[in-house]
Amino acid sequence: MAAAATPNSFLLQNPLRPSPKPLALRPNPRFSVSCAAVTSAPSTSPAAHAAAPGDRGIFNFAPGPATLPEPVLLKAQADLYNYRGSGMSIMEMSHRGKEFDSVIKKAESDLRLLLSIPDDFAVLFLQGGATTQFAAVPLNLCSSTSDPTDYLVTGSWGDKAFKEAQKFCKPNLIWSGKSEKYTKIPSFDEIPQNPDAKYLHICANETIHGVEFKDYPMPANKNSILIADMSSNFCSKPVDVSKFGVIYAGAQKNVGPSGVTIVIVRRDLIGSAQEITPVMLDYKTHADSASLYNTPPCFAIYMCGLVFEHLLEQGGLVEIEKKNAKKAGILYDTIDGSGGFYVCPVEKSVRSPMNVPFTLQKSELEKKFIEEASKEGMVQLKGHRSVGGMRASIYNAMPLAGVEKLIAFMKDFQARHP
Ligand SMILES: Cc1ncc(COP(=O)(O)O)c(C=O)c1O
């Protein structure tokens, strides 16, 4: 049945209408790289929309929820009103209907393609954020609350996971970077692991501190398994999934909006959860029902599906990694080449290509830096409240032009504050 016309139906149905400019941004003639809406009239052509990320007038450096790919947002805009001619919004559909069934199946198969996920791993689309996995992991992988586990803590998120695990197992803190303000990752053979540990937990990329594992430790015990919180570098590069027992990630950084957490778990680890495990935290509940035990976060899963398609269209994670390395490389080079004006405290070998924290040597200028950047259309650059300074989150969907514009602004700001 055709949708009834409303005064706003044209706006709702036409994904290609020019976007309104949210901010009255004025181009700064002092630096040359600009985002499209700042300097030119918004385009109405589909090609221009697809080719000009950033044409909403800003570059969003938020750590999550974070910027999403423009083509994905435009596709979602159309499906939001009338999903592929069904007469229903993607948000209005039953999770048991045929349309959503194909959405979730396609999302899973595209993710399997992207990460080459072996068949002996299940992919679950869950709720509760990565924070819920801090409890779900020990509940599913330990047979009782007295089982020992190892935690290697390289930032605040790993520390939160360690603390939550204390309720459900006996976690052992085998290394913590806290005394060095989470700027390092130790060499793995320096770390004494517990040979009886059921698993070794790491946070693959610490979002607040900008520290990323470049390779992964092997658990000392051959029956033990490696568990990784990959929330902030999920699908930013290829990963050998077979090295892990469980990978989990909140979607809202690299692959979608908030509301869905993806868990990739080796199938033989499913089905031995502790008796106290709530049904919603038991991986078996969700593996047995293909993530449809109860109402799933349908819209968030649909959005992840669009992002996975978009990543595949760009050549998959090998290509994505190259793009990310380029963006991060030029930003870190600018910081390191600033003669100490900008400082990144993280040891070079473990710097994150996703979250780039930096401070100003003249810390009294940081507030001004953030305010001026925001006026120029570069928003959400304030560092996490626990560390201060600035943080540029440059996930997959941040275009190179956004990083180039930030760099041009940083150079100009430095020149104006000798
Ligand atoms: C690495 C990491 N782990 C866990 C979390 C918590 O995720 P959620 O808010 O989805 O529970 C975050 C959130 O930013 C994160 O960056």
Report the separation in Å between the CA atom of 131 and the middle of ligand 1, taken as the mean of its atom positions: 6
State which of 313, 333, 356 marks the end of a domain: 313
- Is 220 a domain residue? yes
281 and 201 co-located in one domain: yes
Q: Which pLDDT tens digit goes with each residue over 390-415? A: 999 999 999 999 999 999 999 999 99
The closest-lying atom of ligand 1 relative to the alpha carbon of residue 155 is 1
- Is 372 a domain residue? yes
200 and 52 co-located in one domain: no
Mean pLDDT of 203-229: 95
Q: Is the pLDDT of residue 198 over 70?
A: yes
Q: Which pLDDT tens digit goes with each residue over 336-382? A: 999 999 999 999 999 999 999 999 999 999 999 999 999 999 999 99
The contacts of residue 370 (CB under 8 Å, 6+ apart) are 381, 382, 390
* Active-site residue, from 110, 159, 229, 282: 229
Token pair of 174 as six digits? 């085998």
Any ligand 1 atom below 6 A from CB of 65: no
- Mean pLDDT estimate for the chain: 90
CATH number at residue 138: 3.40.640.10
338 and 287 co-located in one domain: no
Q: Which pLDDT tens digit goes with each residue over 276-308? A: 999 999 999 999 999 999 999 999 999 999 999
Report residue 284: phi and psi, to 5°: -65, -40
Residue with tokens 């918004």: 42
The best mutation among 133, 201, 231 to test binding of ligand 1, ranked by most ligand atoms within 8 Å of the C-beta, falls on 231
53 and 142 co-located in one domain: no
6 vs 308, higher pLDDT: 308
Shortest-distance Cα residue to atom 16 of ligand 1: 207
The contacts of residue 191 (CB under 8 Å, 6+ apart) are 152, 174, 175, 217
- Asked whether the beta carbons of 58 and 48 are under 8 A apart, the reply is no
Any ligand 1 atom below 6 A from CB of 147: no
The closest-lying atom of ligand 1 relative to the alpha carbon of residue 250 is 10
Q: Is the pLDDT of residue 128 over 50?
A: yes
For 392, the domain range is: 38-69+316-416
Specify the long-range contacts of residues 113-118, CB closer than 8 Å, at least 24 apart: 113/312, 113/316, 114/235, 114/308, 114/311, 114/312, 114/316, 114/317, 115/235, 115/238, 115/239, 115/241, 115/264, 115/317, 116/238, 116/241, 117/241, 117/264, 118/241, 118/242
Known catalytic residue: 175? no
d(CA 347, CA 213): 12
- Is 150 a domain residue? yes
- pTM for the whole structure: 0.89
Report the separation in Å between the CA atom of 391 and the middle of ligand 1, taken as the mean of its atom positions: 16
- Is 25 a domain residue? no
Token pair of 131 as six digits? 């924070």
Known catalytic residue: 157? yes
256 and 306 co-located in one domain: yes
State which of 260, 285, 313 marks the end of a domain: 313
d(CA 251, CA 262): 7
307 and 330 co-located in one domain: no
267 and 136 co-located in one domain: yes
Looking at residue 29, its pLDDT comes to: 54
Q: How many domains does the chain have?
A: 2
- Nearest alpha carbon to residue 255 among 22, 28, 67: 67
54 and 190 co-located in one domain: no
123 and 253 co-located in one domain: yes
Reported as a pLDDT band with limits 50, 70 and 90, residue 223 is confident
285 and 177 co-located in one domain: yes
- Is 79 a domain residue? no
Any ligand 1 atom below 6 A from CB of 129: yes
236 and 136 co-located in one domain: yes
Mean pLDDT of 151-179: 98
Mean pLDDT of 74-98: 93
CA separation, residue 230 to residues 40, 227, 261 (Å): 38, 9, 11
- Is 344 a domain residue? yes
Token pair of 268 as six digits? 């033989």
CATH number at residue 46: 3.90.1150.10
State which of 265, 287, 313 marks the end of a domain: 313
308 and 380 co-located in one domain: no
Reported as a pLDDT band with limits 50, 70 and 90, residue 8 is very low
Q: Which pLDDT tens digit goes with each residue over 240-264? A: 999 999 999 999 999 999 999 999 9
- Is 12 a domain residue? no
Out of 38-42, 125-129, 318-322, pick the least confident: 38-42
d(CA 400, CA 408): 12
* Active-site residue, from 170, 198, 237, 253: 253
Q: Is the pLDDT of residue 22 over 50?
A: no
- Asked whether the beta carbons of 68 and 307 are under 8 A apart, the reply is yes
Reported as a pLDDT band with limits 50, 70 and 90, residue 152 is very high
- Is 210 a domain residue? yes
Quick check: helix, strand or coil at residue 123?
strand
Known catalytic residue: 253? yes
